[in-house]
Structure formats: structure tokens, C-alpha cells
Amino acid sequence: MWVWLPGADEPVAAGRLEAIGEIVYFTYGRSYLDRPGAIPLYLQELPLRQGRIRPPAGLTIAGCIRDAGPDAWGQRVILQRDRGHVTADSDTGDLSLLSYLLESGSDRVGALDFQTSASAYEVRTSEGTLDEMVRAAELLEAGIQLVIEL
């Protein structure tokens, strides 16, 4: 997991997520903890400390991390990209939250991003115009398969 620290021009690797059963743990990276100016990502859930951090009671992942993921609409778009099509009966629960975090773009609101590498950051952005996105939303809602060019 990467973060843009206040005033920074580039993100830094903050730590990693690890799914053990239904629970997703977060562990700060040693390089992040040793960094001058390191801050807790969300003090109430992810205090700045060594070791694996379990989400608060009743949660399977820290709420601040879940909030950084795509909403229901974004999950449907990612599911459509993964499966080739979605219908009204498609279940966004077919993919894991970690999959949605990794498949969402880097150009979303917030300071967190999710990458498979802890050493090389790769920006993932969408290049569509607003009109193209509106048309894609209409097609997706109608159950029509989107053609996504990579």
C-alpha cells in the first residue's frame, strides 16, 4: 500500500496488506516507520507501530482502507472488466476486496493507492472523457458488454 504524505510530490510505500482467512491485516513497512515525517494512516485504526495490525472488532479490514476502494458502481465496472460482462444478477462479491483495491485506478480521491510492488510505483489512470464514461455507464446499466481497449 502506498501513500502520498502531506506536501509530497511522490507516493511512498507505507506497508502491506495480508489476507488471512476473512481478515485483512496491515503491516507498516520498516522503511516507512524509519522515514522522517511518517504519520499514521489513520490513528484510530492504524497506529504507527511495528507488527501486524488487526482491523477493529467487527471489521474484516480497517475502515480507512475499505473506504479507499471503489464504490458499488466502481466494483461493477471492475467486475465487468474481469468477467467480460455483468447482468443485474451479477454479484460484486465474486471478487475479493483486495482484487478491487488492486484493480482500481490511481487517479481516485484520497492519499492511498494499492500496488503489487513495494519498490516500483506504477500510476494507473483512466483516459476516458466524461461523455465516454457516461455512455459506458448507460451500456453497463443496460447489461451490454463494454469493449475495453488496453
pLDDT tens digits for range 30-45 = 999 999 989 999 999 9
Give the number of domains in the chain: 1
Domain membership flag for residue 137: no
pLDDT tens digits, 96-146: 889 888 888 887 778 999 999 999 999 887 666 777 777 777 777 777 766
Domain membership flag for residue 112: yes
Structural domain span for residue 35? 2-71+96-125
Beta bridge pairs of residue 13: 2
Domain membership flag for residue 49: yes
Q: Work out the pLDDT band at 87, boundaries 50, 70, 90.
A: low
Domain membership flag for residue 143: no
> Is pLDDT above 80 for 82?
no
Domain membership flag for residue 115: yes
Beta bridge pairs of residue 109: none
